[in-house]
Chain A
């Protein structure tokens, strides 16, 4: 039997902009299995990012239910949500979002110090392992402004994986990368999933990700139009 990592029932999110109510999510049901390589695909404003934010405990649904790792994350307060994210979820952002004053190695180490409080020796071993996994051992001491876009995103991938999360949420991870680099990043994430069993959930327009995803949800106007596999 396959484990269900994310289970959503009638998940809805409404925003109020002035007097106008926007239905970002219109009551959607879906399930994501553990270890899946899943993509939410759709045009801008289709609700992909809102959905990822709710799965990532950054936002709360207006109605409906969402269980992540069997936890109803819609009921978590700020502090508990932060702890849940730190424990279970890694994030990869479109703009890499590395901390500019820290080196590549220190950026990867950051969640292990500030979120997890790992001991120094264990941290060093983990960082070294991840730098090797993303092929950046030679750039370990470089600051983000000394790295290329692809290298930055590889550091971001390593940072997302640092604390050994059960899933990684990636919001348009290849949007700011050239085609070749984007391809390498996707392959890297897929190989990490294959090696460590980490679940990857993407919001994307990138056909290459869609092609590599095992589970694809097509979204439009806050609704799931179609579920399929590549």
Chain B
């Protein structure tokens, strides 16, 4: 095999211009795929990070059926205090969980004493909310709060930017929130606007925030009743496993089966809660599409160069066949040439890609979307490099197979007569 590879490499050097051109095309393809994968991966991770770290958390727990009717923010599907405490204890014992934030979400009327509109609100414990969704603090457009105190204090409210603009409300203004509780009684309370939040895409991206004790007072709820628990875990790649663990352990607490329909509680990962998971899937699909393009480039380039190689060396093939070279060895000689072109393209392409990715990290490429600035940190996993390399090599072999078969099956007499 070493001799076959040696002979193949000499033939590639013999037609070095054509070899370089073909390998160059493969290099461009490999660079395009690896850099695109690194960039799109970085963009996707950034966007997922924005969504999970500024509102959703990685995992959420609700009463069974809550997510299905989340648009109406029902209060009759609240988690009762005793259960909320048990869940809290369970989460604090779960090693993978970094922090959790209980929430009381409800719909209300927002009034600045002149106009009234509706608003979706989250009652939160500010410190736990900050630990669970640390980027919420980055969404402040205006803020009255002292930086040392996270998010807000009792009596304060954070409102979304669009509402503030529409109602012409500023930080420090007094407003009134009116809400209907589970029994149907209406209550109202005054709040001071402590911050204006930038709206972000996704569920909860245009919600307001107030202290959970204020929410309970407004809704006349006694005890620490909640309707949502957001959870932050150590490794976002491990959300499915943590979810499975939580489902199992919650079933032990509630004494109800683990199955989704019969369980007392439901556990969702971030991607089940936001339409961005579809965009993430589209980015993955785009990634696959770019890889398919690479397959096309490699296939056409290698096949083209190998067809030419066979055509130009018909007499040579006739000679080696005549002197007794087995057809299988002739086949391998040409496949080896295709393989070596692919290998050269892969190695050079990977090296160039790593340099480009390193350079992009050094130059800190940023994109601004409104107030949101994305600084890409492209990175490529070793598994991706190996996968792309294996793909290119496999396609190089497949691309050279047809010309190699043609060479191996060539009639020596016809080949020797070829002019």
Chain A interface (Cβ < 8 Å from any Cβ of B): 53, 56, 58-59, 78-79, 82-87, 89-91, 93, 95, 97, 99-102, 110-111, 113-115, 159-160
B10 surroundings in chain A (CB, below 8 A)? 101-102
CB distance from A175 to the nearest CB of B (A): 14
Sampled A-B contacts (15; CB under 8 Å): A58-B322, A58-B412, A59-B413, A79-B326, A79-B327, A84-B324, A89-B324, A97-B316, A97-B416, A102-B7, A102-B10, A114-B3, A114-B320, A115-B323, A115-B324
CB distance from A119 to the nearest CB of B (A): 12
Q: CB distance B324 to A111 under 8 Å?
A: yes
Q: Which of A91, A97, A114 has the most CB of B within 10 A?
A: A114
Known: A97-B416, A101-B14. A56 touches B325 (CB 8 A): no
Chain B interface (Cβ < 8 Å from any Cβ of A): 3-4, 7, 10-11, 13-14, 315-316, 318-329, 412-413, 416
Q: CB distance A93 to B416 under 8 Å?
A: yes
Q: CB distance A87 to B413 under 8 Å?
A: no
Q: CB distance B324 to A113 under 8 Å?
A: no
Q: CB distance B324 to A83 under 8 Å?
A: yes
Interface of B is mostly: helix
A78 surroundings in chain B (CB, below 8 A)? 327
> Which residue from chain B places its CB closest to the CB of A85 in the assembled complex?
B324
A111 to B318, CA, bound (A): 14
A97 surroundings in chain B (CB, below 8 A)? 315-316, 318-319, 416
A101 to B4, CA, bound (A): 13
A114 surroundings in chain B (CB, below 8 A)? 3-4, 320, 325, 329
B327 surroundings in chain A (CB, below 8 A)? 78-79, 82
CB distance from A22 to the nearest CB of B (A): 15
CB distance from A173 to the nearest CB of B (A): 14
> Which residue from chain A places its CB closest to the CB of B328 in the assembled complex?
A79
> Which residue from chain A places its CB closest to the CB of B316 in the assembled complex?
A99
B11 surroundings in chain A (CB, below 8 A)? 101
Q: CB distance B14 to A100 under 8 Å?
A: yes
A-B contact count (CB 8 A): 67
Q: CB distance A85 to B322 under 8 Å?
A: yes
Interface of A is mostly: helix
A225 to B152, CA, bound (A): 115
A111 to B326, CA, bound (A): 11
Q: CB distance B413 to A53 under 8 Å?
A: yes
Q: CB distance B320 to A85 under 8 Å?
A: no
A23 to B10, CA, bound (A): 43
B3 surroundings in chain A (CB, below 8 A)? 113-114
Q: Which of B3, B324, B328 has the most CB of A within 10 A?
A: B324
Q: CB distance A93 to B324 under 8 Å?
A: no
Starting from the known contacts A89-B324, A99-B316, A115-B325, 9 additional A-B residue pairs (CB-CB under 8 Å) come to A53-B413, A82-B326, A93-B416, A99-B320, A100-B316, A101-B11, A101-B14, A102-B7, A110-B323
A84 surroundings in chain B (CB, below 8 A)? 324
CB distance from B327 to the nearest CB of A (A): 6
CB distance from A49 to the nearest CB of B (A): 9
Q: CB distance A83 to B322 under 8 Å?
A: no
B416 surroundings in chain A (CB, below 8 A)? 93, 97
A59 to B411, CA, bound (A): 9
User: Of the candidates B324, B328, B413, which one forms a contact with A86 in the assembled complex, judged by CB atoms under 8 Å apart?
Assistant: B324
A97 to B320, CA, bound (A): 9
Q: Which of B7, B322, B413 has the most CB of A within 10 A?
A: B322
A97 to B314, CA, bound (A): 11
B13 surroundings in chain A (CB, below 8 A)? 101
A110 surroundings in chain B (CB, below 8 A)? 320, 323
Known: A58-B413, A101-B7, A113-B3. A82 touches B316 (CB 8 A): no
> Which residue from chain A places its CB closest to the CB of B315 in the assembled complex?
A97
Q: CB distance A159 to B323 under 8 Å?
A: yes
Q: Which of A82, A87, A90 has the most CB of B within 10 A?
A: A82
> Which residue from chain B places its CB closest to the CB of A78 in the assembled complex?
B327
Known: A58-B413, A82-B326. A93 touches B319 (CB 8 A): yes
| Shortest beta-carbon contacts, A-B, top 5 | A86-B324, A101-B10, A85-B324, A97-B319, A115-B324
CB distance from B360 to the nearest CB of A (A): 41
A90 surroundings in chain B (CB, below 8 A)? 323
A83 to B325, CA, bound (A): 8
A93 surroundings in chain B (CB, below 8 A)? 319, 416
CB distance from B410 to the nearest CB of A (A): 10
> Which residue from chain B places its CB closest to the CB of A100 in the assembled complex?
B14
Known: A114-B3, A114-B329. A82 touches B319 (CB 8 A): no
A58 to B14, CA, bound (A): 29
CB distance from B7 to the nearest CB of A (A): 7
B318 surroundings in chain A (CB, below 8 A)? 97
CB distance from B366 to the nearest CB of A (A): 52
Known: A53-B413, A93-B416, A97-B316. A111 touches B323 (CB 8 A): yes
B413 surroundings in chain A (CB, below 8 A)? 53, 58-59
A85 to B327, CA, bound (A): 13
Q: Which of A58, A79, A95, A115 has the most CB of B within 10 A?
A: A58
CB distance from B404 to the nearest CB of A (A): 15
